[in-house]
Amino acid sequence: MLHIPLWKRVIILGLVGLGLLTAMPNLFYARVEAHNDAVAQIEASGVETPELVAARDAWPSWLPSGLVNLGLDLRGGAHLLAEVQVADVYKDRMDGLWPELRDALRAERATVGTVRRAASDPGELRVQISQPEGMARAVEVARTLASPVVSLTGIGETDLEVTGSGDTLTIALTEAERTATDDRTMQQSVEIVRRRVDEVGTREPTIQRQGEDRVLIQVPGIGSAAELKALIGTTARLTFQPVISRGSDASASPGLGNVLLPAADEQGVFYVLEQSPVVSGEELVDARPDFDQNGRPAVSFRFNPTGARKFGDYTAENIGQLFAIVLDDEVISAPQIQSHIPGGSGIITGSFSVEESTNLAVLLRAGALPAEMTFLEERTVGPELGQDSIDAGRIASMVGLAAVVLMVVASYGLFGVFASVTLIFNIGMIFGLLSVIGGTLTLPGIAGIVLTIGMAVDANVLVFERIREELKTAKGPARAIELGYEKAMSAIIDANITTFIVASILFFVGAGPVRGFAVTLAIGIITSVFTALFVTRVLVAAWFHWRRPKTIIV
């Protein structure tokens, strides 16, 4: 098969050319990156500043501009794995259900008697009724509060599971509702984390759901994981609650329907507040850092129309009362209502620093997390360490490549030169493919490329060794080359498929840097088989047709 049809040669060399072309932007990494950023920024803002235009024009737009993403270990940045406490939401649901249920049961006082809430697990609502005979009726009433589950799998089911035994009525979420709720909680959490990270304006963050209840957050270029955690680890649930009393007793019993919360700034001060808030952060439309009349940092906010009405009505009716501003179960401040506040806007004061008030404004704008998050894993890599790794990897690859080329040329002469040329094509194509699929290059990924440099020669070596053997049995050179390729094929295919299996397994079970390694390894296998079987062959065939040698030495 030394004669390769023209169309085949065109396709093979075309693919190599395409690979090299798409790899090329990586040689001018900084310039292309600036170009891409400028294009994105101009598109987003619609404004063309001279700097942006200069950055954009530094790289011609008709050239490919895809780049290999650098992993966090090479670029520097922070990585967090958070677990969302999805069960928190069940408790909120139960707390929200209680007033509704109480009112419904009170209407049936004649049959069920008096009702009171009993202690229970956080995900349950337990109610004791004074007339156990009326339990059947109580269960019936409670069931009317249930609504159908909104999810694909939970069709035909309701969201509440109501059971009654003796004088206790127990209400919990059904399994289907829990699954649906968890799903919503996760979606909201991911969305809110994304909004918060976007508010800070870092580039290309990765925020994705992992498994049942986890969120993976990777932000390149951020100084430390602690900084990132401060931003996304705060629940930021803001509520405005009426104050019943203020005291210093941490163990005071707040009474039914009330809660005892500590003050954020004053040690040993506790407030008893009504449990149900008047308005909450969900009804905010805006929040921004500001200063109060004394010039201290504060956060100003504005409610949406319904929030503004509730806020206005309450302040009108309760002039002179204390009104607590609560953030994540701590009372930030509890000012006295001086007058009716009709416009739906206000200001939160407290002992903030400018930085804290800015952060709080960001958090309030992005919205509260539906549930608390705990952090299972956090990693920070400084940009200098990443750059060091890139430099070391680059030098090592060059030296490795030179040594391999030397060895191959010394062993196989002209055929070794062909193999070396295709090896360089091969590396180019790896980068080209990585750029096209938007793959991420990690430190182990660089090792994967170096390993490929060593192993890519293997397919060529198999063919060359086979040609040598065939030459011994005194066939003509053309026939020997043909047979060499033919007979080496099964070994090349089997050997590379097994390695490819391993790379796929690495990809599916690995995380982060390991996954990056699997991708480069798999791409390396594909490109090295392609270059060895097709590209080297085109080169060998071209040489053969040009020189028409009577004998060849491999």
Site for other proteins in 472-501 (CB under 8 A): 487, 490-491, 494-499, 501
CB of 187 to other proteins, least distance (A): 22
Whole-angstrom distance, CA of residue 437 vs CA of residue 374: 33
Q: Does 503 bind other proteins (CB under 8 A)?
A: yes
Binding mask 167-206 for other proteins (x = CB under 8 A): ----------------------------------------
Cα–Cα distances in angstroms (integers) from residue 177 to residues 94, 182, 188, 356, in the given order: 13, 8, 16, 38
- Indicate the residue among 15 and 219 with the shorter CB distance to other proteins: 219
Q: Does 434 bind other proteins (CB under 8 A)?
A: no
Whole-angstrom distance, CA of residue 490 vs CA of residue 405: 25
411 to 430, contacts with other proteins by CB under 8 A?
A: 411-413
272 to 311, contacts with other proteins by CB under 8 A?
A: none
Binding mask 56-95 for other proteins (x = CB under 8 A): -----------------x-------x-x------------
Helices (H), 149-208: 175-200
Whole-angstrom distance, CA of residue 514 vs CA of residue 386: 16
**Candidate list 376, 437, 475, 479; residue touching other proteins; CB under 8 A:** 376
- Indicate the residue among 286 and 388 with the shorter CB distance to other proteins: 388
Whole-angstrom distance, CA of residue 159 vs CA of residue 97: 12
CB of 456 to other proteins, least distance (A): 9
The answer to whether the CB of 429 falls within 8 A of the CB of 531 is yes
CB of 110 to other proteins, least distance (A): 51
Whole-angstrom distance, CA of residue 352 vs CA of residue 187: 31
User: φ and ψ at 339, to 5 degrees?
Assistant: -155, 175
220 to 259, contacts with other proteins by CB under 8 A?
A: 224-226, 229
- Indicate the residue among 65 and 420 with the shorter CB distance to other proteins: 420
Angle at 152 between CA 150 and CA 193, to 5 degrees: 70
Helix axes 443-472, 477-509, angle to 10 degrees: 160
Helix or strand (DSSP H, E) at 56: helix 50-57
- Indicate the residue among 26 and 397 with the shorter CB distance to other proteins: 397
- Indicate the residue among 393 and 439 with the shorter CB distance to other proteins: 393
The token pair that represents 480 in the structure block: 């020997």
CB of 200 to other proteins, least distance (A): 18
| Coil, strand or helix at 335 | coil
Q: Does 514 bind other proteins (CB under 8 A)?
A: yes
CB of 165 to other proteins, least distance (A): 36
- Indicate the residue among 281 and 445 with the shorter CB distance to other proteins: 445
395 to 414, contacts with other proteins by CB under 8 A?
A: 395-397, 399-401, 403-404, 407-408, 410-413
Instruction: Give DSSP secondary structure letters for 462-504.
Output: HHHHHHHHHHHTT--HHHHHHHHHHHHHHHHHHHHHHHHHHHH
CB of 376 to other proteins, least distance (A): 4
Q: Does 451 bind other proteins (CB under 8 A)?
A: yes
Helix or strand (DSSP H, E) at 523: helix 513-530
Q: Does 379 bind other proteins (CB under 8 A)?
A: yes
Whole-angstrom distance, CA of residue 43 vs CA of residue 85: 38
- Indicate the residue among 260 and 449 with the shorter CB distance to other proteins: 449
